[in-house]
A and B are shown apart, each in its own frame.
Chain A
Amino acid sequence: MAITTKKTPVIKLRDLKKRFGIGDAEAYALDGVDLTIKNGEFVAIMGPSGCGKTTLLNIIGLLDRSYFGQYELDGKPVDSISRRKQAFIRSKQIGYIFQNFNLVPRLNIIENVALPLTYSGVTRVNSLIVASDILKLFHLNEREYYMPHQLSGGQIQRVAIARALVNKPTIILADEPTGNLDSRSSHIIMEELAALHSVGNTIIMVTHNANLTTYASRVITMLDGKIDTDSREMPKPEKPKHKRPKAKKTKKKLTAKLKRKKK
């Protein structure tokens, strides 16, 4: 199959279903999701609470394995990938940013950032060096040996982003990354994500905040476990066959019309 576009699909979901409970209590968190996300997209997923956004993100992030339907990552069905290999993909290819930061409280900042490197086989010393370098990018190099509880929310989230990026992943999953932050910090974080997007990373972000979707290249809204609207699949406004009326002209026409009515 010839690749027609530069952007290849990295994530392909077909009729994805996720069920919670059994019998009477059965409920579908995801009820037939079809979604293709291409390399380099910045996707914002929106929707009311309980519509399955986070579940979707967990499945994409290979954390949740109990689902029905098809999930292909880089053209490979995820079912056929061994658990160990999946863990390796998580450490190499996927960066996870959580709403509640999820730093390990026992470890200091630099150790937290170095954590994903440990699991991809980098030696301890090297991983600390790399972690230190990335913390510099986030202007946190002076806080390297602080414990997580000694930092502010915005700083912690920056640490969490640094941790998500330390392995240079191609896919970044963010689950309400600004949910616990004030608007100023939110925008700083969003600028960081936008910058990551601009260098070609795929970002999938779950958010409640409609303002943040302006950073995204594609907005998906979900409702009751299904994709409700998708900005990419919406019909683009077709190019008019005839020339658009000039704005000035239209204005004149309108004023003339109004004048006529008044009369």
Chain B
Amino acid sequence: MTRLLILNHIHNAKQSLQSSRVRSALTMLGVTIGVASVTAILALGSGAGRVINDQINMLGGNIAVIRPGVTVNPINNITQPQNNQGYATSSLSKSDLEKLKKIKHIDLVAPLMTLGGTITADSPAPANTKILATTPELAGISNLKLREGQFLGSEINENSAVVGQQLSINLFGTESSIGSKMTIHGQTFIVVGVLKPLNNPINYNSIDFDNSVIINYSMGEKLYKNNAQIQQINVRSDSINNLDQVVKDINTVLLKNHDGEKDFSILVGDQISQPTNQLFFSIAGVTAAIAAISLFVGGIGIMNIMLVTVAERTREIGIRKALGASNTDILYQFLIESLAISVVGGIVGYIVGYAVAFIVSEFLVFSPVINWQVALTAMTISIVMGTVFGLYPAIRAARSDPIDSLNRHN
């Protein structure tokens, strides 16, 4: 007694949905919006993940990053180097820096110190502008390339500054701003170099180099009255094989220098990009939660419409039962109808999601990724939605008493 009614059910669902087009379309819209947002998030999220992976590869693997404080929550990690913990004193000091330089196998050491304050030039600097005080070694560690001019160096004037390309345009109205002057903390700086656009505001230094000005570490110290606040120290070992040894040595040296207090963390390899990664995942997570809400609302829409459909067709259910439909047949009939809504809505949502992702990516530094995982997720979400939210109305239909149903007036 095998009865494959699936084709009949599909035909039936098609007929039923066509008979109330507007209603079906509006219900599908709920699913479409939910699936579209999920698709867009996933596609863009994979794109962002790709950017980070590229960066890790670019780092070459022989870089260690020292940050003040112990890493507990990776999300805090990324916020720490930024200067928004203004009144918290960094545990990294100048003496740490001097000691680090003496460790064997360390090739380059660069402290990162972001300063508060405003930049005064021809035009005011945008709000997100960073003032970074560092040593010339940063160019080597973080692979900073110059568009024109030169990077900081011991041989040139202390009052030199290197600006990002975008900042150069914002401040001076030109990309070629060498020789232009600006004032930071009452001190005049002369632009000696303009950086090549990196176009990756997401990086392990948490500094968008396109929008920052880089000054000498010694000047940074001076501006802060010799009270340096080092947010991060980048260290490069001479070879990837020596990195482990270098990390151990750094740990020993710093512990000794900090009187045995472990108030710093040393990050290598994946750990460096992890905070960025984590941040991305948490952003994606929050957006996904919003998408989940829209999916839930869309699902409620399906359930609502299916309950209306079941109520409208109570008599039909009675007739079908009298003519030999079993409860399971009725259950599947309505379940397939709700699945039809959610799957069609899901397919449209997948397409719309990618359209949105590509439009949004025009304004971002990365592009969406098309892969089977996203398609599978979108499909799974639609099927699960159709089943979960269609089940209750379908069960209600299946369980209805045939005689009551037949006596119901249309």
> What residue in chain B is nearest A90 (Cβ atoms)?
B324
| Contact A98:B406 (CB < 8 A) given known A106-B16, A106-B19, A118-B8 | yes
| Contact A119:B3 (CB < 8 A) given known A83-B326, A91-B323, A92-B324 | yes
Bound-complex Cα distance A91 to B322 (A): 8
* B315 on interface, CB distance cutoff 8 Å: yes
Contacts of B318 in A (CB 8 A): 102
Contacts of B319 in A (CB 8 A): 102-104, 115
> What residue in chain A is nearest B402 (Cβ atoms)?
A63
* B58 on interface, CB distance cutoff 8 Å: no
| Contact A106:B11 (CB < 8 A) given known A63-B321, A87-B326, A119-B3 | no
A163 engages B326 (CB within 8 Å): no
Q: Chain A 6-30, CB within 8 Å of chain B: the 1/0 string? A: 0000000000000000000000000
Q: Chain B 3-26, CB within 8 Å of chain A: the 1/0 string? A: 111011001000110010000000
Contacts of A163 in B (CB 8 A): 323
Bound-complex Cα distance A89 to B321 (A): 11
Bound-complex Cα distance A103 to B320 (A): 10
Q: Chain A 68-101, CB within 8 Å of chain B: the 1/0 string? A: 0000000000000001100111111010101000
A residues 92-141 in Cβ contact with B at 8 Å: 92, 94, 96, 98, 102-107, 115-116, 118-121, 123-124
A87 engages B321 (CB within 8 Å): yes
CB distance from A137 to the nearest CB of B (A): 19
CB distance from B254 to the nearest CB of A (A): 75
CB distance from A169 to the nearest CB of B (A): 10
Contacts of A84 in B (CB 8 A): 326-328
* B128 on interface, CB distance cutoff 8 Å: no
B328 engages A63 (CB within 8 Å): no
Contacts of A90 in B (CB 8 A): 321-324
Bound-complex Cα distance A121 to B8 (A): 10
Majority secondary structure of chain B interface residues (helix, strand, loop or mixed): helix
B323 engages A116 (CB within 8 Å): yes
Count residues on chain B whose CB falls below 8 Å from chain A CBs: 30
* B158 on interface, CB distance cutoff 8 Å: no
Number of A-B residue pairs, CB cutoff 8 Å, is 80
CB distance from A129 to the nearest CB of B (A): 15
* A61 on interface, CB distance cutoff 8 Å: yes
Q: Range of interface residues on chain A?
A: 20 to 34
| Contact A115:B327 (CB < 8 A) given known A106-B19, A121-B2, A124-B7 | no
A106 engages B316 (CB within 8 Å): yes
Contacts of A104 in B (CB 8 A): 316, 319-320
Contacts of B316 in A (CB 8 A): 104-106
* B107 on interface, CB distance cutoff 8 Å: no
Bound-complex Cα distance A124 to B7 (A): 8
| Contact A119:B329 (CB < 8 A) given known A90-B324, A124-B7 | yes
Contacts of A83 in B (CB 8 A): 326-327
> What residue in chain B is nearest A89 (Cβ atoms)?
B324
Bound-complex Cα distance A116 to B318 (A): 13
* A64 on interface, CB distance cutoff 8 Å: yes
* A217 on interface, CB distance cutoff 8 Å: no
A121 engages B322 (CB within 8 Å): no
B323 engages A63 (CB within 8 Å): no
Contacts of A115 in B (CB 8 A): 319-320, 323
CB distance from B172 to the nearest CB of A (A): 73
CB distance from B237 to the nearest CB of A (A): 73
B residues 369-410 in Cβ contact with A at 8 Å: 402-403, 406, 410
* B156 on interface, CB distance cutoff 8 Å: no
Question: A58's contact among B1, B16, B326, B403, by CB below 8 Å, is which?
Answer: B403
CB distance from A173 to the nearest CB of B (A): 9
Bound-complex Cα distance A88 to B329 (A): 11
Question: B322's contact among A63, A106, A107, A118, by CB below 8 Å, is which?
Answer: A63
Contacts of B323 in A (CB 8 A): 90-91, 96, 115-116, 119, 163
* B325 on interface, CB distance cutoff 8 Å: yes
Bound-complex Cα distance A90 to B323 (A): 6
Bound-complex Cα distance A63 to B407 (A): 12
Contacts of B321 in A (CB 8 A): 63, 87, 90
> What residue in chain B is nearest A123 (Cβ atoms)?
B7
Bound-complex Cα distance A180 to B326 (A): 29
| Contact A102:B403 (CB < 8 A) given known A83-B326, A87-B321, A92-B324 | no
CB distance from A63 to the nearest CB of B (A): 5
Contacts of A105 in B (CB 8 A): 316, 410
A64 engages B403 (CB within 8 Å): yes
Contacts of B327 in A (CB 8 A): 83-84, 87
20 A-B pairs (CB sep. < 8 Å): A63-B402, A83-B326, A84-B328, A87-B321, A88-B1, A88-B324, A90-B322, A90-B324, A98-B406, A102-B406, A106-B19, A115-B319, A115-B320, A115-B323, A119-B320, A119-B323, A119-B324, A120-B3, A121-B2, A163-B323
- Extra contacts, 7 of them, besides A58-B403, A63-B406, A84-B328 (Cβ < 8 A), are A91-B325, A96-B323, A98-B322, A119-B3, A119-B323, A120-B324, A124-B11
Chain B residues with CB under 8 Å of chain A are 1-5, 7-8, 11, 15-16, 19, 313, 315-316, 318-329, 402-403, 406, 410
Q: Which 8 pairs, one residue from A and one from B, show the smallest C-beta to C-beta distance?
A: A91-B324, A87-B326, A119-B324, A90-B324, A121-B3, A116-B323, A63-B402, A84-B326
